[in-house]
Structure 1
Amino acid sequence: MKYTAHINVMPLKELLDPQGKAVTNNLHNLGLGQVQDVRVGKHISLQIEAASEDEARQLTQDACKKLLANPVMEAFDFTLVAG
């Protein structure tokens, strides 16, 4: 069965996010001072062929832990969509 994994990788909340800080500052310069905090991350979509949702979930987890996210600096979450 085919699955699509939608993965979000974000900097850990405890760490400074220089890209987010730059975006926040520039939004303020553009008159959008209501924006308080910006965190910049990445969104990744994977197409997965797996026998079950559990297998697809495990494959996604492994891909994130081994390659897509740096556990020292980033956290990840994901959703799976069948079809």
Structure 2
Amino acid sequence: MRAKVHVTLKKGVLDPQGEAVRHALGALGFDDVGEVRVGKVIELDLSDEDRGTAEARVSEMCEKLLANTVIENYRVELE
């Protein structure tokens, strides 16, 4: 089973990388872009066959390592 974890900054948390991308897009002529938020996607190959077990394990991984839950949200997709 494959898991994708989408990690994004919570609303209200300053995103300097997103602001740098927005500024660079403006410099390239893409002036119609408003706020830009940058996140990350983490892909995991899992040996778990049970979806419930896999989702619980990946959520535990996120809580312990993959996401800083003070300033980041995460969403898990299983394939």
2:13 to 12, 15, 24: 15
Task: Please give the TM-score of this superposition, normalised by the length of structure 1.
Answer: 0.91
Identity %, equivalent residues: 39
Whichever structure has more strand as a proportion of its residues is 1
Q: Which letter maps to 2:6?
A: N
Number of equivalent positions: 79
* Structure 1: 5+ residue stretches without partners: none
State the 4+ residue runs in structure 1 displaced beyond 3 angstroms.
none
1:76 to 60, 74, 77: 74
Q: Per-residue CA shift, 1:11-60, capped at 9, x if unaligned?
A: 11111100000100110111001111111111100111114110001011
2:57 to 45, 56, 59: 59
* Structure 2: 5+ residue stretches without partners: none
Task: Please give the TM-score of this superposition, normalised by the length of structure 2.
Answer: 0.95
